[in-house]
Amino acid sequence: MVQVDKLYQEFEKDALAKLLGIRIIDIQPGYARTYLEVNSNLVNALGMTHGSTVFALVDMALAAASNSRDKVAVAQNVSIHFMKATHPGDQLYATATEENLTNRTGIYRIVVENEAGEKIAVATGTAYRTDSSH
Amino acid sequence: MVQVDKLYQEFEKDALAKLLGIRIIDIQPGYARTYLEVNSNLVNALGMTHGSTVFALVDMALAAASNSRDKVAVAQNVSIHFMKATHPGDQLYATATEENLTNRTGIYRIVVENEAGEKIAVATGTAYRTDSSH
Amino acid sequence: MVQVDKLYQEFEKDALAKLLGIRIIDIQPGYARTYLEVNSNLVNALGMTHGSTVFALVDMALAAASNSRDKVAVAQNVSIHFMKATHPGDQLYATATEENLTNRTGIYRIVVENEAGEKIAVATGTAYRTDSSH
Amino acid sequence: MVQVDKLYQEFEKDALAKLLGIRIIDIQPGYARTYLEVNSNLVNALGMTHGSTVFALVDMALAAASNSRDKVAVAQNVSIHFMKATHPGDQLYATATEENLTNRTGIYRIVVENEAGEKIAVATGTAYRTDSSH
């Protein structure tokens, strides 16, 4: 496993996460958790949290969890299901857990919940594990 | 079909699209095209265009295409496959075409290409068609 | 909820499940479990359990779980990730649990395990809930 | 590319395809086409072609197309969207085309049509390319 401190430092360079206000709040081997407080810049035309905002929260959890192992990993595909609308002021958490890990592939389930623990979205992501180490 | 002018006006209110610099450049019945020039705010920790940036471009094309019909439509699920990395300065286009349309559901294929016509990502999105009209 | 006895009787008419030897072994509201013993008719060219055999086990669990509610439901889309190969003689179980239920849509997570409890595949399925009752 | 004759011979050993009556009718580099005439063994409890029958047709097209290249390839994940019901007597064709090919991964789009050219289902499949040659 990589040094978690170093991994946090790497993700500090993620410009989009900074722009959106997404924070990685936990990394364990094969596990990660991200957080976002929705604001008025992150909504769609109907004033609800944008699906792409929710996806970004999921994507960061996938990135952190899949890179918590020995190798640099990149997202290959993600399938996301949206379940419940949220709004500015809502606090969202995405939790990524490892479904499976092989030499080349990691599969992760990511669940997004609001501050009340209601399910907002679920996703499955596949990460390709490169030959590079962190 | 909705009035296209009115639809463009509605999407002007999409705050996240504005934040990221995504523009809707074409809407036809069951079809839409979006555009983005990648900049240094839209990258991941490796300096490449963030997967979530690509997703947002896809998502806006899905929103525009699925709302080009008579009813207000919302994304239900999206499956995205990433194929090729891009970088700041690259120009990306997402094109959404209708695979199928029923009373309650629209299915769309979305292809993302760069300025050279190389395939960057493909996605399939399902939109739920509500009872509301535009 | 439907009468479970009546639901089992309906699924008795599923000709493909019979051909493959898939049995529904549990139905609860928003939950179902299916079972299959792999035999030599159900393999691919490499002699391993066919991906389509695993999918069928998943699909039957999705059908049973989504029809355990008041309305007739039909599969709209399924995303499946294959994790581990199995072979003739292996016993497979698929368990479908409800992620979300709205008036029109049910989302289910389906996990396939072998007799040792090892994960073979995971899937997410969306069912469309029609106006018909059972 | 593999010798196509040899590839057809390999797929002759696919027991499930034989059980269901699925035939591979074309293989080109990065391309394949499969065929099935629906019969009364391949339906669900409602008497319509089983979703798993349609999936199997898709899966065989994915297998043939992804193995048309130099390496042995195995399905990693498949996302399928069902669009239109069919019935015994209907003739179904699945066409797999290559979206992308890297050293380790092939991505394929698969479209299922009936004899009238109507779209029955669409799918996207990812194949993992092993180190083995055919």
CATH number at residue D101: 3.10.129.10
Give the total residue count for chain A: 134
Interface pTM (ipTM) of the complex? 0.97
Q: Is residue C125 left, alpha or beta, with left meaning phi > 0 and alpha meaning psi from -120 to 50?
A: beta
Query: Cβ of C97: how many Cβ atoms within 10 Å?
Result: 15
| Cα B22 from Cα C130, distance rounded (Å) | 37
What tokens does B92 get? Answer: 């990306």
| Cα C20 from Cα A53, distance rounded (Å) | 43
By DSSP bridging, strand D105-114 and strand D91-101 are antiparallel
Q: Which of C14, C40, C42 is closest, CB to CB, to D44?
A: C14
Of all residues in chain D, the one with the smallest CA distance to B78 is D79
Q: Nearest CA to CA, how far is C27 from chain D (Å)? A: 16
| Cα B76 from Cα D81, distance rounded (Å) | 13
Q: Higher pLDDT residue, D37 or D70? A: D37
pLDDT classification of D43: cutoffs 50, 70, 90: very high
What tokens does A69 get? Answer: 């192992």
pLDDT, mean of residues C15-21: 98
Packing angle of the helix pair C51-66, C4-11 (nearest 10 deg):
150
Q: D65-123 pLDDT, tens per residue?
A: 999 998 999 999 999 999 999 999 999 999 999 999 999 999 999 999 999 999 999 99
* Chain C contact for B103 (CB, 8 A cutoff): no
Averaged pLDDT, groups of 10, chain A, 134 residues long: 85 97 97 98 97 98 96 97 98 98 97 98 97 88
Strand extents, DSSP E, chain C: 23-28, 31-37, 71-82, 91-101, 105-114, 119-133
Q: Nearest CA to CA, how far is A25 from chain C (Å)? A: 25
| Cα D26 to the center of its chain, rounded Å | 11
pLDDT classification of B124: cutoffs 50, 70, 90: very high
Q: With CB atoms and an 8 Å threshold, state whether B16 touches A41.
A: yes
By DSSP bridging, strand D71-82 and strand C71-82 are antiparallel
Asked if D97 contacts D108 with a C-beta cutoff of 8 angstroms, the reply is yes
Q: How many domains does chain D have?
A: 1
SS3 state at D111: strand
Best of A74, A76, A126 to disrupt the D interface (most D CBs within 10 Å) is A76
Asked if B94 contacts B27 with a C-beta cutoff of 8 angstroms, the reply is no
Q: Nearest CA to CA, how far is A46 from chain B (Å)? A: 8
Of all residues in chain D, the one with the smallest CA distance to B122 is D99
Q: With CB atoms and an 8 Å threshold, state whether C124 touches A126.
A: no
Chain D: touching chains (3 or more CB pairs < 8 Å): A, B, C
Amino acid (1-letter code) at residue C98: E
Closest by CA position to D41, among listed D82, D89, D85, D81: D89
Taking 80 as the threshold, does the pLDDT of residue D58 lie above it?
Answer: yes
pLDDT reported for residue A1: 55
D14 vs A62, B56, B90, C38, C85, CA distance in Å?
A: 36, 41, 45, 14, 15
Give the residue numbers spanning the domain of B52: 4-133
What tokens does B57 get? Answer: 């471009």
pLDDT reported for residue B125: 98
A126 contacts on D by Cβ (under 8 Å): 76-77, 126
Chain C: touching chains (3 or more CB pairs < 8 Å): A, B, D
- For a pLDDT cut of 70, what percent of chain D falls above it? 99
Helix, strand, coil percent content, chain A, rounded in steps of 5: 25, 45, 30
Taking 70 as the threshold, does the pLDDT of residue C131 lie above it?
Answer: yes
SS3 state at B91: strand
Taking 90 as the threshold, does the pLDDT of residue D3 lie above it?
Answer: no
Which residues share a beta bridge with B32? B27, B96
B52 vs A54, B43, C10, C86, D71, CA distance in Å?
A: 10, 9, 44, 35, 32
Q: With CB atoms and an 8 Å threshold, state whether D53 touches C81.
A: no
| Cα B129 from Cα D96, distance rounded (Å) | 29
pLDDT classification of B133: cutoffs 50, 70, 90: confident
Closest by CA position to D30, among listed D116, D125, D122: D125
The enclosing H or E element of B58 equals helix B51-66
A130 contacts on D by Cβ (under 8 Å): none
